[in-house]
Amino acid sequence: MKIKSFLVSLRKASFDVDTQKNLRLLCPRISDATMFMPFKFKKFIVISCLLVNWTDIMAIEEPNYLSMLTEEGFEVRKYEGYYIAETYLEGSFDFASRSGFRKVAAYIFGKNKNTDGMSEKIEMTAPVTVKPKQDGWFLHFVLPADRTKEDLPIPDDRDVIIKRVKPHLAGSVTFSGFTTEKKIEEYTDKLMDWLARKDFKIIGPKQIARYNDPFTLPWRRRNEIIFEVEKQN
C-alpha cells in the first residue's frame, strides 16, 4: 500500500483510478457511492482511514523468530540474533521512555558517522523496548536484520551503543492500550504465571516492548511484556 498517491491526491484535490482502488483496499467496507461524493468528504475518509490503519500501512521490520508455543495472547518464541542501538537513563519509566527514545531515534535518523565519515539514516524497526536496570532503564531499538556491526554507523552520542543480542528463547504476552504502571504489573504477573505453568524458567529481566507510533489509537496498539526463558526439565 503506497501513501504517496493519497498525499498527492489530497494536494491536487482529485482521485485517479489507482487511488480509488487503493482507498477501497485500505477501507474494504467503503461503498462505490463514496467515490461520487464531493472531494472534501472523500478527503475526510482518506485521513480517517490513514489514522485508523496507520500501523498496517506502515508495516515495519521486526526481529526474526520462530513461534514455539502460542495460547490466547501468550507466546514462546525462538529469536534469531540481532543488533540493537541502546541507551541507559536513570529516573522514572516515563522519563526514560521519552528521553531514551529521542537519543536512539537521533542515531537512526542520522546522528552518526559511517565508514566514509558521512551521516546515514537507518530504517525504523519495531519494537521499541525498555527494561529495568538497578535505578534506571535501558531503552533500545532493534536494527534492520541485513545490517552488521561492521557496516552500522557509529553513534555521535556516546550514550548510545550498538550491541549484539544472541539467539534466545523468549516468553511474551500481548496487550493493547497504554503501557501504564498498572497494566505492566498486571500483564507481568499473568506472563510469569503462564510461563510457570508451561514449565519455562525466566532467566532475564522484564522487557516492555511497544510496536506503534504515538498517534496509533489505544485499542489498536500492540504492547508486550517479554522475558528471556529456558525450558525446564
Residue 172: Cβ-neighbour burial (10 angstroms; 0-12, 13-18, 19+): buried
Kindly compute the dihedral angle of the four CA atoms of residues 77, 79, 84, 88, in this order, to the nearest 10 degrees: 40
Q: How confident is the model at residue 60, as a pLDDT? A: 80
Q: How confident is the model at residue 124, as a pLDDT? A: 87
Could you please report the per-residue DSSP string of the chain?
--SHHHHHHHHHT---HHHHHHHHHHSTT--GGGGGS-HHHHHHHHHHHHHHTHHHHT--B---EEEEEEETTEEEEEEPPEEEEEEEEES-HHHHHHHHHHHHHHHHTT-EE-TTS-------BS-EEEEEETTEEEEEEEPPTT--TTTSPEESSTT-EEEEEPPEEEEEEEE-S---HHHHHHHHHHHHHHHHHTTEEE-S--EEEE-S-TTS-GGG--EEEEEEEEE--
C-alpha cell at 16: 485517479
Task: Give the integer Cα–Cα distance in Å for 233 and 225.
Answer: 24
pLDDT tens by residue, the chain, 233 residues: 444 554 555 444 444 555 555 555 555 545 455 555 565 555 565 555 554 454 454 558 899 999 999 999 999 999 999 999 999 999 999 999 999 999 999 999 999 999 999 999 999 899 999 999 888 999 999 999 999 989 999 999 999 999 999 999 999 999 999 999 999 999 999 999 999 999 999 999 999 999 988 778 889 899 999 999 999 87
Q: How confident is the model at residue 213, as a pLDDT? A: 80
Listed by start position, the domains of the chain span 4-57, 65-231
Q: How confident is the model at residue 42, as a pLDDT? A: 56
Mutual angle of helices 39-52 and 4-12, in 10-degree steps:
150
CATH superfamily assigned to domain 65-231: Regulatory factor, effector binding domain (3.20.80.10)
